[in-house]
């Protein structure tokens, strides 16, 4: 057994949603560096093209596909194109997600549903489509969802009850899919990041100083500090792992 080979993705194909920035972008770049051909998707066309160009410049293969993962009529053709052009999908990272800081007391139903639609429905639609493609090709695979420590705790002082709800749902959905997809040799696991300094978090700078004293490591994390976990779950190194949630939060949830 060669340990380096366990973590390599040579000859494999991956799909990463929400890949135009933040965690998704760093995961896509890491997968390409590890040897995988990568299909990347997001709603924003231009940033997606820039990520694809960066992957190609590094010697990798990237297929950018603009897609709104909340729309089933967009997810199905997106997945088909990725599957066709890559010759099958081995890894699917369901990462697209959104957040805002609005309290539940006066929240309109439409706002609550908007968060669930992207963070939960988008994960379901993407994972389901990826699993169907894997089953059709009788191909073992790994599906990875991006949950959050917010699926385990309620963040304070910011009001994000709708977001916490969505991420708790992702964790449990991941476990349900792991059970149902196991007979097809498809593994499903989730990653639960803590406070990571991405484009999603940067606009809330006034909260950073309030969060850091509660983080045992004393700082927010960086997106590149998550890629090792995503690489592990995508690779053969995690071949006996399914239905698990890996928390990477600087110790925040230890309190």
Q: Which two tokens stand for residue 47?
A: 């940033």
Cα R_g (the chain), whole angstroms:
17
Cβ(60)–Cβ(30) under 8 Å?
A: no
State the DSSP code for 1.
-
What are the Cα distances from residue 232, in Å, to 19, 81, 158, 239, 240? 18, 26, 32, 9, 12
Question: Alpha-carbon distance 168 to 44, whole Å?
Answer: 26
Q: Is the peptide bond before 223 cis (omega within 30 degrees of 0)?
A: no
Annotated catalytic residues are 148, 163, 167
Handedness of CA 73, 44, 196, 15 (dihedral sign): positive
Strands annotated E in 67-222 = 91-94, 141-146, 186-193
Strands annotated E in the chain = 13-17, 37-42, 62-66, 91-94, 141-146, 186-193, 245-248
Place of tokens 């997809």: 181
């Amino acid at each position: 057994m060669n340990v380096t080979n366990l973590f390599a993705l040579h000859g494999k194909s991956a799909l990463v949603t929400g890949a135009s920035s933040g965690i998704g972008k760093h995961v896509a770049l890491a997968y390409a560096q590890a040897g995988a051909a990568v299909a990347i998707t997001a709603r924003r066309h231009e940033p997606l093209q820039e990520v694809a160009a960066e992957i190609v410049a590094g010697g990798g293969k990237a297929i950018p596909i603009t897609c709104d993962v909340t729309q089933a009529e967009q997810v199905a053709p997106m997945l088909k194109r990725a599957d066709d052009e890559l010759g099958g999908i081995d890894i699917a990272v369901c990462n697209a997600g959104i957040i805002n800081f609005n309290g539940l007391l006066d929240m309109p139903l439409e706002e609550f549903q908007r968060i669930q639609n992207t963070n939960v429905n988008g994960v379901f639609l993407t994972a389901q489509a990826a699993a169907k493609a894997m089953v059709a090709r009788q191909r073992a695979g790994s599906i990875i969802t991006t949950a959050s420590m917010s699926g385990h705790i309620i963040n304070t002082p910011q009001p994000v009850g709708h977001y916490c709800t969505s991420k708790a749902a992702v964790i449990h959905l991941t476990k349900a899919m792991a059970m149902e997809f196991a007979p097809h040799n498809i593994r499903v696991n989730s990653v639960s990041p803590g406070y990571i300094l991405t484009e999603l978090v940067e606009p809330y700078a006034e909260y950073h100083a309030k969060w850091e004293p509660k983080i045992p490591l004393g700082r927010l994390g960086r997106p590149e500090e998550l890629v090792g976990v995503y690489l592990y779950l995508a690779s053969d190194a995690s071949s006996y792992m399914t239905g698990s949630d890996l928390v990477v939060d600087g110790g925040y949830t230890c309190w």
